[in-house]
Amino acid sequence: MGSDPHGRFVQIYEHAYRPILGYVLRRCEDPDDAADVVAETFATAWRRIDEVPPGDEARLWLYGVARRALANHRRGERRHEQRTAALREQLNASNALTGPSAAEYTQLGRAFRSLSDDDRELLSLVAWEQLDTKQVARTLGITRNAVRVRLHRARRRFARALADAGIDIPLFERTAL
């Protein structure tokens, strides 16, 4: 597949760079760590360029890689390599990232954070990455039906967490999901 890996990788990078950066920044507190994870994600794609699927599927594939890179990174040490120096500088100066996220201080955020990692990831892929069930299925490597079932359960558990926090569920359901 792909006789010119360099050209292909540049294409993939240009298409997926912002979504992947966004994905990682939404799940990683520290911008320096986020830069490491973004670097690791694309380095993995380069190492496996023959396996990266064509078209927009590449983005979904990269979400999966980023998810694993994040999971590994949280347990690891910071690397803060030279290759991310410029990106880290930009992220630390970014206007888009100033202030704590609403997930930190709101009741809604607390209820959301009380969910399991799997539930949170599922709901986030829909709400933040705006994926449909088919895309979520591709990203997680499970069937669409499994996505529907798990999503249903995750929403139910989230509704319960909201109820525990005293948040109006019907209103929330109308606006959020």
Q: Please report, as ranges, the residues that interact with other proteins according to CB under 8 A.
A: 5-6, 9-10, 13-14, 17-19, 21-22, 25-26, 35, 38-39, 42-44, 46-51, 53, 61, 65, 68-69, 71-72, 75-77, 79, 81-91, 93-97, 101-103, 106, 108-109, 112, 123-124, 127-128, 141-142, 172, 175-177
Q: Least distance in Å: CB of 76 to other proteins?
A: 5
Q: How far is the CB of 43 from other proteins (least distance, A)?
A: 5
Q: Counting runs of H as helices and runs of E as strands, what totals does the chain give?
A: 10, 0
Q: Do residues 70 and 37 lie in contact, with contact meaning Cβ atoms separated by under 8 Å?
A: yes
Least separation in angstroms between CB 61 and other proteins: 7
What is the DSSP track for 6-75?
HHHHHHHHHHHHHHHHHHHHTT-S-HHHHHHHHHHHHHHHHHTGGGSPSTTHHHHHHHHHHHHHHHHHHH
Q: How far is the CB of 67 from other proteins (least distance, A)?
A: 9
C-alpha to C-alpha distance for 82 and 146, rounded to whole angstroms? 41
- Minimum CB distance to other proteins smaller for 91 or for 136: 91
